[in-house]
Chains A and B, each alone.
Chain A
Amino acid sequence: MTAPAAQFKADAGRLSADLRQRGIIQTAMGKYEVVRDQRKAGFQDWQGARELAARTKFQAVNHLGQYLEDLASKLEARGTKVHWAGTGAQAREIILAILREKQARVVVKSKSMTSEEIHLNGALEGAGYEVVESDLGEFIMQLRGEPPYHLVFPSMHLTRGEIRDLFAEKLHDAPSDNPEDLTMVARRVLRQKYLQADIGITGANFAIAETGMISITENEGNARLTAALPKTMITLVGIEKILPRLADLGLFLPMLAVMGAGQLLTGYNTLYGGPRQPGEPDGPEEFHVVFLDNQRTALLADAEQRDALGCIRCGACLNVCPIFPNVGGHTYGTTYGGPIGSVITPHLRGLAEWKHLSDASSLCGACSETCPVKIELHHHLLQNRRNGAQAKPSWFQKTAFKIFAAVANNARWWSLVTKLARVGQVFQKPVKGTALDPASVWTKTRDLPPVAKESFREWWKGRK
C-alpha cells in the first residue's frame, strides 16, 4: 500500500469513529442543504441551468488555447503583467521574484485553493515574508497550522469554543465564544495587516477571455480589500478557470452562490481588468497574473475526463457525498477533497499514489447529480479504478475474478459452490471479522447476507 493510501485508511478509520466531529459536520451540512434547496427552487429551471453551464464550460475547456490567448492579450493591453508557470515550483519562484523586486515584507492573501495546491504560504514564509490569510476561515486554519478542511468552508469542523481558545492562545484576544465577537477580533487584527501590506495575493473564480478580467467571488470583502490597498496585486489562476464571455457570469455567479453556500448571490462578485488606470483614485500600481498549469494539461489530454476541468470549486459534490462527512476533509490528504478531488488528484499528482481515492466512493452518483456543470464524477472514479488496475494489475484481483468467472459460467460448479456456502456460513459465523475469518477485511465492518436455504433451481426442480 502506498503511503497516501495507508494514511487515508488510518485517518478514515479514526475519523469515522469520531462521532463528535461527524456531528459537527452533519449539523453544518444540514443547514447548507436547506438553503441550497430553497435557492435551487428559485431558478425557473435548475436542470436547464446545469445544461447551459455544462455547455459553456465544454466550449471553454475544449478551446482553451484560443481563449487563454485572448485573455492574456486583453490583460496585457491594459498594463497587467502576465506570467506562465508550468509547475507549482515555477509559480512560487515567479511570485517570490516579484516580492524580492518590490522589497516586500507583509503579504495579505485572500482565499485561494490554487495557492494551497502549490504550497505558496510555506514558500513565502520560508523566504522570510509575513503572510496573512484574510478570509476568516482560512485565518483560523492558518493560526492552527492546518490546511483548509473543505473547499468552501475551511474551518467547518471547529466549534466556537475551539476558535475562542485558539484566539486566546494566538491573539490574546477572545472576549467570548460568540461568533460575532470572534469575527470582530479577526476584523481588527486583519484591518491592521491590510494597512501594512505591500502585496496582495488572490486566487480567481473565473477568468473572462472576452474582456480580459479576473472574477473573484467572496462574502467578507477581504478579497476586495486585498485588491484595493496594497501597491502590488498578484493573482494566481489555474489555466482552466476560463469563461468565454462577460455574459457567462450572468449564469455562473448565481449558480456558484447557490451550490457553494445556498445564497442567491455571494456578497461580492468583483472583476479586475488591470492595475490602477489613468484617472482612477486607487488600486495597485502593478497587477500580476500568474497562469498555472501544474498538470492541468495532463487532465486536458484525457478526453474521457476532460470535463473535470470545468469544475468551479463550489464544493457541492463534497456536501452530498456519503463519504466526506464520515471521513472528514483532512483524511483525503489532498488540496481538493471529496469526489472532485478524488477524480483530479490522480491526474495532478500521479495515479499510482492516489488511485485509492477512487475506492473511497459508494458510486452512488450523488456527486454527478448535484454538480452544477455536470461533471460525470462517479464515472470518472470508475475510470480511475480501471486505469489504476490496468497500470498495475493486482494478481490477487485477477485470479479472484478468473475463478469467479469460471464458477459463474458453469452451472454445476455454481450449484456446488452455493451448496458449500450454506455449510461454510455456519463455520464462518463464530469467527466473523476475526483473524481466523478468510474474508475478515470485508466482514470486519459488514454483514454478509445469509445464503438461501434453497436455490431457485432446487425449488423449480422440486415443485409439484
Chain B
Amino acid sequence: MSEREASFARIREALSVKAVGHDGGLPSVIEQRGVLPAVGSADEERLAQFRKNAADLRADFQQFPSEGDLMARVRELCQVEGWKKIATHNGKLAHAVAQSLGVPVLNTTEGYDKHELAACDAGMTECDALVAQTGSVLVTTLSAGGRALSCLPPHHIVVARREQLVPDLPAALELLQQKYGTNYPSMISFITGPSRTGDIERILVLGAHGPKKLTILML
C-alpha cells in the first residue's frame, strides 16, 4: 500500500465514528456578510471606507480625475525619491505611466533577471480589485506582472480604476471565480498595506521584506 493509500485508509477508519458538534453545514455568503465588518451600501461610502483603511495601514491612497494628473503625481514621486530605474509589466495603464517617466523601465512580462528587479527603485502594477472592507489590493500573477514585481522593489505603486473597487472579501473572491473560472493564475494575493513586522517588542516597523511603501493611485 502506498503512503497515500495508507493515509486515506487511516482517515476513513478514524471517521467511522461520528462526532457531534457544529453540524449546521457550510455557511452561505449571506450568512458570512451578516457577521463580517459592515460595508457601506453606497459606492461613495465604500470609497471613504477604503480611504480610511488605507490610511490606517499607512498606505498612500490618492484619486485623480485624469490619466494626465495621475502621471504627474508619479513623475513627482520619481523626482522626490530619485528613482533611477523602475519595473512594470504589460498592463496598459501601468506601462503607459512607467514609460512616461523618462527613466529606464524593466518589463517583467516576458521574464526578467531577479537581481535586476531587486535593484529597481519601484515596482508599478495594476490589480484585479481594491477591497473597501479591508483596504486591500488584490493582485495575481497575471494582473500584476508575476509573483515578485509587487513584492521585491522597495516601493509598490498600484494603478487602479474606480470601478475596480469591490465592497468586501466575499465579493473579491467571487470576482476571482468569475474572472478566471477554473484557470486561476498560480499566485493570487491580497496585499493589505506595506510590508510590516512587529517581531521586536511588538513595535511596528514597515518594510520587513516586501515594499516599505505602498502607493495606490486611482483613476
Contacts and interface: CB of A to CB of B under 8 A. Distances in A.
Given A264-B134, A270-B189, A229 B114 contact: yes
Nearest to B152: A225
Contacts of A137: 197, 199
B185 A280 contact: yes
B200 A249 contact: no
A348 to B, nearest CB: 14
A51 B118 contact: no
A461 to B, nearest CB: 49
B8 to A, nearest CB: 6
Contacts of B42: none
Which size class do B's interface residues fall under?
35 or more
Nearest to A186: B208
Contacts of B194: 267
Which has the most chain A C-beta neighbours within 10 Å: B12, B13, B170, B210? B210
Given A62-B19, A85-B3, A225-B209, A282 B146 contact: yes
Contacts of B11: 64-65, 68, 239, 297, 300
B14 A44 contact: no
Nearest to A283: B147
A51 B187 CA distance: 30
A160 B200 contact: yes
Interface stretch (B22-30, B62-70, B77-85, B94-102): B22-30
A137 B199 CA distance: 5
Given A54-B21, A55-B27, A267-B192, A272 B209 contact: no
Nearest to B151: A224
B215 interface: no
Given A187-B209, A272-B187, A264 B110 contact: no
A140 B199 contact: yes
Interface in B9-50: 10-15, 17-27, 29, 31-32, 34-38
Contacts of A267: 191-196, 210
A464 B134 CA distance: 71
B198 to A, nearest CB: 7
Contact of B36 (A59, A254, A270): A254
A213 interface: yes
Given A46-B35, A276-B186, A250 B173 contact: yes
Given A264-B53, A274-B186, A283-B146, A195 B114 contact: yes
A206 interface: no
B109 interface: yes
Closest 4 pairs between A and B when the two form their complex, measured CB to CB: A221-B210, A220-B208, A228-B147, A137-B199
Given A183-B207, A268-B210, 7 more contacts: A65-B11, A69-B8, A153-B202, A251-B32, A267-B196, A271-B189, A303-B17
